[in-house]
Amino acid sequence: GNLSYFISATVAGRYLDEPDVVIALTDPPIIGLSAHLAARHFNVPLMVSFRDIFPEINQTLKGVDSALVDRLLHEISCFLVRKSSRVIALGETMRQKLIAHKAADPGKTIVIPDWADCRAIRPRPKRNAFSQAHGLTHAFVVMHSGNMGLSQGLETLLEAAARLQSFSDIQFVLIGEGVKKQDLMAQAQHLGLRNVQFLPHQPKAMLPNSFATADVFIVSLQRGLAGYIVPSKLYGILAAGRPYVAAVEPACEVRAITRQYRCGLSVEPGDAQGLAEAITTLYQHRSLTQQLGRNARRAAIAFDRQQHVRAYYNLLCGDVTTPSLAA
């Protein structure tokens, strides 16, 4: 489990070739402590790249909240923020949460978003090996691709599918695995949904074709999670040049990208009727759907892997050569 991983990582950290800087991610949440110990051992700067913020995620999701664990995770997050020469957030909302709730120094807290490889994932024809294998070539495909966990609120997507059963050529395709998959499959069966397919996680080589099969993607995040999680799958969708419906709160980074680049439609989390109406709009207005897709690809260039890897490179070079940060 997480504890054995933490112990082995801590031990291994002492036997590294001497680093110039140590970067910690935040999943699992305690792994940053191993990074702190390694940084202290070698007397080099520590940076923490927050992928998500605990314990607030646990507090929002039903069934995973524990007062003792939450307190511990909060203290760990605050400790790592204090010890870091740089705190990296995935978006501006996350940056503000770290400043407000973890006492991060605004001057040391920066934004480097997630990215997509725009050379590996690019707009492709809908007619391909994946769409043909699953009988989706001629359907209007509404796709969720990725984790089916507690944070996405995918029950709402199935409720929207139930409202759109009269459209025989609209197909909902949910690709991936996760703790909620069995519950979602049971919900679809209970609702008698003939317009929903569940498919397994796809190998990376298949992603360009599976993404090209979609006419519209769904990007969803439960209410209360904006800034604590950033749905990183958005960037692959942008690279594929496909529009999406963002079922997220107004403060969520996804909404900001949607507004700035006009590459999707937005609805409130949990609003099945609003989601169904947005899907219907894209189904009925294909020229809009195509324009949003072209805008999505343009947005992807701003989140290309090369650009944000360069941001990390510049950050590391800058910080490693700044003596005050190695103190």
Residue 124 lies in a domain: no
Same domain, yes or no, for 252 and 265? yes
Q: Could you give the percent of the chain with pLDDT greater than 70?
A: 96
Mean pLDDT score, 203-226: 96
Same domain, yes or no, for 283 and 317? no
Same domain, yes or no, for 293 and 147? yes
Residue 120 lies in a domain: no
Q: Which residue has the tokens 């409720």?
A: 159
Same domain, yes or no, for 291 and 165? yes
Torsion 202-204-205-209 (CA) sign: positive
In this predicted structure, the answer to whether residue 1 has a pLDDT above a threshold of 80 is no
Torsion 22-120-251-161 (CA) sign: negative
Residue 27 lies in a domain: yes
Mean pLDDT (the chain, rounded): 93
Residue 281 lies in a domain: yes
Q: Which has the closest alpha carbon to 92: 107, 78, 112?
A: 112
Same domain, yes or no, for 209 and 316? no
Same domain, yes or no, for 6 and 109? yes
Q: How confident is the model at residue 64 (pLDDT cuts 50, 70, 90)?
A: low
What's the confidence (pLDDT) of residue 65? 60
CATH number at residue 288: 3.40.50.2000
In this predicted structure, the answer to whether residue 324 has a pLDDT above a threshold of 60 is no
pLDDT tens, position by position, 135-190? 999 999 999 999 999 999 999 999 999 999 999 999 999 999 999 999 999 999 99
Mean pLDDT score, 120-142: 97
Buried/exposed code over 144-181 (b: 16+ C-beta within 10 A; e: otherwise): bbbbbbbbbbbebbbbbbbebeebeebbbbbbbebebb
- Return phi, psi of residue 24, to 5°: -110, 140
Residue 284 lies in a domain: yes
pLDDT tens, position by position, 20-54? 999 999 988 889 999 999 999 999 999 999 999 99
Q: How confident is the model at residue 323 (pLDDT cuts 50, 70, 90)?
A: very low
Same domain, yes or no, for 271 and 193? yes
Same domain, yes or no, for 321 and 295? no
- Cα–Cα distance measured from residue 75 to residue 55, given in angstroms and rounded to the nearest whole number: 9
What's the confidence (pLDDT) of residue 267? 98
Q: Which has the closest alpha carbon to 176: 198, 153, 161?
A: 198
Same domain, yes or no, for 265 and 317? no
Same domain, yes or no, for 111 and 228? no
In this predicted structure, the answer to whether residue 58 has a pLDDT above a threshold of 90 is no
Reduced 3-state DSSP string for the chain: CHHHHHHHHHHHHCCCCCCCCEEECCCCCCHHHHHHHHHHHHCCCEEEECCECCCHHHHHCCCCCCHHHHHHHHHHHHHHHHHCCEEEECCHHHHHHHHHHCCCCCCCEEECCCCECCCCCCCCCCCCHHHHHCCCCCCEEEEEECCCCCCCCCHHHHHHHHHCCCCCCEEEEEECCCCCHHHHHHHHHHCCCCCEEEECCCCHHHHHHHHHHCCEEEEECCCCCECCECCCCHHHHHHCCCCEEEECCCCCHHHHHHHHHCCEEEECCCCHHHHHHHHHHHHHCHHHHHHHHHHHHHHHHHCEHHHHHHHHHHHHHHHHCCHHHHC
Residue 121 lies in a domain: no
Residue 275 lies in a domain: yes
- What is the domain extent for residue 244? 129-302
- Cα–Cα distance measured from residue 81 to residue 54, given in angstroms and rounded to the nearest whole number: 13
Q: How many domains does the chain have?
A: 2
Q: Could you give the percent of the chain with pLDDT greater than 90?
A: 84
What's the confidence (pLDDT) of residue 252? 96
Mean pLDDT score, 186-209: 96
Same domain, yes or no, for 81 and 157? no
Same domain, yes or no, for 152 and 270? yes
